[in-house]
Structure 1
Amino acid sequence: MVFALLALIVFKDKTVTQFVYSGLLSFVLAAIIYVRYHKAKLTKLFYREALAFASFTWFVVGVLGAFPILFITDAGFTDAVFESISAMTTTGATILVGLDNMPKSFLLYRQFLQWMGGLGIVIFVVAILPMLNVGGMRLLRAETPGPIKNDKLAPRVSSTTRYLWLVYVVLTLLCAACYWLAGMSGFDALAHSFTTVSTGGFSPYDGSMGHFDNHWILAIADVFMLLGAISFALHYNNFTRRALRGYWQDEETRWMLISVAAISFILFLFVFNHGVHDSVSESISQALFHVISFMTSTGYGADDLSAWPAATAGLLIMASYMGGCAGSTAGGSKFIRNILTVRILRQQMMQAIHPQAILTVRYQGKVVKNDVVLAVMGFMLLVAISSLVLTVLLAMTGLDFYSAFTAVVACINVLGPGFGEVSSNFIPVSDTGTWILSFAMILGRLEYFTVLTLLLPKFWRD
């Protein structure tokens, strides 16, 4: 709220009252909690509390962030919360139209929400509130779960989170500078840098990146979307060691880049053979941009995808499930899980051929432990089940199956754009469906287990 008020000094928009009311309401709610619990001494945070803290923080902050959206736009409470959670989780799905004519202070606030949620709300909290260091690593693990233990860049978790934020800020500033040099205004460069590095995808324009009609801008977005989808711990380590070859030596990053190139080439062949664009270079640019946008779960658009061949939708949906790297701002299943899943399946097939052989799954040259193997396969099963269940529930609210499925894909992979009835925005979704998709965004952002564990009766009994 303070950031938005500072923006008002520059833009002089007539939204001061709405931001003040939002700030006061948030302050009053925080004060009530503080008065009730300020005498409690937090000496140790168990993993169970960390799971609950991470999950409820995303929901509460999502509601608080909705106040300016509720007061400034014509959106109802349900839609405002959906827009806020979409921003915080860096999904990029929207129910707003006419963005080009909205107050700049509000648009920058909306962009800033995605940037703040990029690395994670809980990581941000741990970085600025030292008292949470008593359970900081548990909080970090609850918000950024993965098959391999998180890299710890410093002895104290609060220091680790600050190093991650340092990398995040530097990449954002570099991105803004590059956009400005490519022809964007200062406002557009800053606004889009917030949602490029965070792989969020919000834009102050209804036309998204297509508003600029500039392939240099698309190329810059390609680079920084990829940087946002690579582990920030890897960025930090490679920078401090001054070893760029570390990116290619990292299996997850290497396979992500190879996959981007392969899927982009296939998409280019589809688009070029159907004569969607006038030139080869434009087809290459659009194919590469949209593959990176979907795979990194950014969700920017720069072309009318409804004019593309139907098969391209399937390729882009597949890319969105693949996701970026663990420890990044990207959504999806993460490439480390994709790599391990393929190797686990290969191991099982080889075991069927050679029943007596002792076969192992390796990653980065090391044997993967059995508990990690089980966790990866359990995660992949949850992805499939969650997608199916949520699609059926959403279809029951009135959407056709194709639109319901792509809407779930867009939200559960924190991607943003869908197809069918939700290709432009999510206005056609009912209030019930909107709450289902809000839950799907938090579910996907916290990678299933953190949220679903709270639904078990045993979690609350013992």
Structure 2
Amino acid sequence: MRLAVIARVMGLLLIVFSSVMLPSLALAWFEPRDTFGAFLLAAIVTVVTGLALYAPARGARQELRLRDGFVIVTLFWALLALFGALPFVFAGLAGFADAYFESMSGLTTTGSTVLTGLDRLPASVNLWRGVMHFLGGGGIIVLAVAVLPLLGVGGMQLIKAETPGPMKENKLTPRIRETAKGLWTIYLGLNVVCVTSLWVAGMTPLDAFVHSFSAVATGGFSSHDASIAFFQNPVIELILTLFMFLGGINFALHFVAFRQRDPRPYLFDGEFRVYTAIMVGATLVMAFALLASRTYPDFADALRFSLFQVVSMATTTGFATADFAAWPAALGGLLMILGFFAGSAGSTAGGIKLMRIMLLFKQGACELRRLVHPNSIVTLKLGGKTVPERTISAVTTFFTAYLAIFAVIGLIVAAMGVDLVTAFTAAAACLNNVGPGLGQVGPATTFASLPDAAKWVLSFAMLLGRLELFTLLVLFTRVFWRS
């Protein structure tokens, strides 16, 4: 383990992170409440810590190994949440457990919150919550990959540890720095268009930035307690629906389509077609169910609210235009289930990812075929290519581990005196990076009522979900630490 190199990279990343507090610091200068001092102190602590890590190791310029990449990615996300929590603590808005939970939720684009009175929060704090979503969605490590090669530190090990899904072994361009820049260009461009559209549709500039950062990053933080229901504006809902949908698509597809100036890569991609079919099918099922249950007497309203909530929960954004916990129980359950698998690999969405579910279904079909024809040679193909046995094994292992961890986290939270519905939907919301759950953590409430111990467990669940389990779990294995 190259500790000096790790310390150098960590120091550089913390220095960069301190600079993203500057917009909130500048906005706090004009606020009557003394949040300026909180952001100033937080920025100073962060940059001083970064310098303390960087200065002694500034001469360490060896190439990172894969193991170093895993340590940096995991350690940095954990520490990033720590320093991101400082403005909440210094401003007196939350205790340390609540502040760390809020910060981890923002950076992992989960969107679960412990704060109330969002409409009355200082504008600088709401902006900071949105900025954390922006960084988490784009991937602070991917940003670092675009910058660090200029400073003598290679980036391939970092991006392999950070990037989820089947695309992570493939480079979209020959140079990893150019890939990172290309992805960030697309991500930033989507945010610019979304901010402009929301502003034109009637949002204030602050609301437009916060909700754009949340929508494209599939985060879910809002600057209003009522979330998107605050606006009662169908145009705003349609704009956010579109950008949540785009955020849930594999960004490699965006990259290829943008580079070729051709939308056909979307049409030829099997995962995209299934992703779209799930959104359409779930929306129609939910709309007819809401109409049948007389939750909404008009089909247009049922369709409007169904579309928004399906896209919001399936992409693990977590915005709300209605309290779906008050809908028929089966519909709330359906929305929580969608959060487990509907997001695409390589997107800003959380959960197991649709590509893995597709592989599992195809594997199941292959096993049924082998039962009928036991002597036949059956190969699993995806997109016309044979899937290696190692990939199938990895997906099966991931799926099993994911469900087991979900069950364990839910039981741990329940053991702290939380009712089962709240405990298990809170576990699902945090592990899937969705945001709201049901029960005490429904869309009309917050996570504030949970015990502090439960918030620490759920913060760990968010980190697990953001790093897709194995990036973090590998650090707890004996073989990883053997030289």
TM over 0.5: yes
User: Equivalences for 1:45-84 in 2 at 5 Å?
Assistant: 45-84=64-103
- Structure 1 residue aligned with 2:464: 443
Deviation at 1:314, TM superposition (A): 1.5
TM-score for both structures, normalised by structure 2: 0.92
Moved more, 12-21 or 274-283: 12-21
Deviation at 1:11, TM superposition (A): 5.7
- Work out the CA distance in 2 between the residues paired with 1:251 and 1:62: 36
For the residue of structure 1 that corresponds to 2:319, the secondary structure is coil
Query: Residues 343-370 of structure 1, C-alpha deviation per residue, up to 9 Å, x if partnerless?
Result: 0111111111111111111111111111
Deviation at 1:9, TM superposition (A): 5.2
- Work out the CA distance in 1 between the residues paired with 2:43 and 2:86: 9
For the residue of structure 1 that corresponds to 2:225, the secondary structure is coil
- Structure 2 residue aligned with 1:357: 376
Deviation at 1:307, TM superposition (A): 2.2
- Work out the CA distance in 1 between the residues paired with 2:263 and 2:316: 24
User: Equivalences for 1:42-191 in 2 at 5 Å?
Assistant: 43-130=62-149, 134-191=153-210
Aligned residue identity for 2:441: V
Deviation at 1:381, TM superposition (A): 0.6
- Work out the CA distance in 2 between the residues paired with 1:100 and 1:145: 35
- Work out the CA distance in 2 between the residues paired with 1:129 and 1:203: 32
- Structure 2 residue aligned with 1:30: 50
Is the 1:326–1:335 Cα contact (8 Å) retained in structure 2? yes
Moved more, 377-386 or 25-34: 25-34
Does structure 1 residue 198 correspond to structure 2 residue 211? Answer: no
Does structure 1 residue 370 correspond to structure 2 residue 389? Answer: yes
Is the 2:70–2:471 Cα contact (8 Å) retained in structure 1? yes
- Structure 2 residue aligned with 1:223: 242
2:475 to 447, 454, 460: 454
- Work out the CA distance in 2 between the residues paired with 1:11 and 1:254: 47
Deviation at 1:457, TM superposition (A): 2.1
Question: What is the RMSD computed on CA atoms of the aligned residues?
Answer: 1.5
Moved more, 235-244 or 400-409: 235-244
Structure 1: segments with no counterpart, 5+ residues: none
- Work out the CA distance in 2 between the residues paired with 1:165 and 1:133: 21
Structure 2: segments with no counterpart, 5+ residues: 1-20
- Structure 1 residue aligned with 2:409: 390
Query: Residues 296-331 of structure 1, C-alpha deviation per residue, up to 9 Å, x if partnerless?
Result: 000001102232001012111110001311111111
- Aligned-pair identity in percent equals 38
- Work out the CA distance in 1 between the residues paired with 2:49 and 2:430: 28
- Work out the CA distance in 2 between the residues paired with 1:310 and 1:105: 37
1:334 to 346, 350, 353: 353
Do the aligned partners of residues 73 and 216 (structure 1) sit closer, same or farther apart at CA in structure 2, a change above 3 Å counting? farther
User: Equivalences for 1:151-300 in 2 at 5 Å?
Assistant: 151-300=170-319
- Work out the CA distance in 2 between the residues paired with 1:11 and 1:75: 19
- Work out the CA distance in 2 between the residues paired with 1:125 and 1:104: 28
Deviation at 1:150, TM superposition (A): 4.4
Aligned residue identity for 2:462: M
Is the 1:230–1:253 Cα contact (8 Å) retained in structure 2? yes
- Work out the CA distance in 2 between the residues paired with 1:438 and 1:198: 18
- Structure 2 residue aligned with 1:40: 60
- Structure 2 residue aligned with 1:409: 428
Is the 1:151–1:233 Cα contact (8 Å) retained in structure 2? no
Aligned residue identity for 2:51: A
- Work out the CA distance in 1 between the residues paired with 2:391 and 2:172: 22
- Work out the CA distance in 1 between the residues paired with 2:151 and 2:351: 28
Query: Residues 414-452 of structure 1, C-alpha deviation per residue, up to 9 Å, x if partnerless?
Result: 000010111111012111111100000000001011011
- Work out the CA distance in 2 between the residues paired with 1:393 and 1:375: 26
1:301 to 320, 337, 359: 320
Do the aligned partners of residues 347 and 134 (structure 1) sit closer, same or farther apart at CA in structure 2, a change above 3 Å counting? farther
- Work out the CA distance in 2 between the residues paired with 1:154 and 1:246: 16
Moved more, 236-245 or 142-151: 142-151
Is the 2:29–2:36 Cα contact (8 Å) retained in structure 1? no
Moved more, 142-151 or 346-355: 142-151
Moved more, 111-120 or 241-250: 241-250
Moved more, 155-164 or 291-300: 155-164
User: Equivalences for 1:6-25 in 2 at 5 Å?
Assistant: 6-8=26-28, 14-25=34-45
Is the 2:130–2:209 Cα contact (8 Å) retained in structure 1? no
Deviation at 1:234, TM superposition (A): 1.1
Query: Residues 259-301 of structure 1, C-alpha deviation per residue, up to 9 Å, x if partnerless?
Result: 1111111111221111112421111011111111111000001
Aligned residue identity for 1:141: K
Deviation at 1:13, TM superposition (A): 5.6
Query: Residues 10-33 of structure 1, C-alpha deviation per residue, up to 9 Å, x if partnerless?
Result: 667631111111011112211221
Deviation at 1:5, TM superposition (A): 1.9
- Work out the CA distance in 2 between the residues paired with 1:389 and 1:306: 24
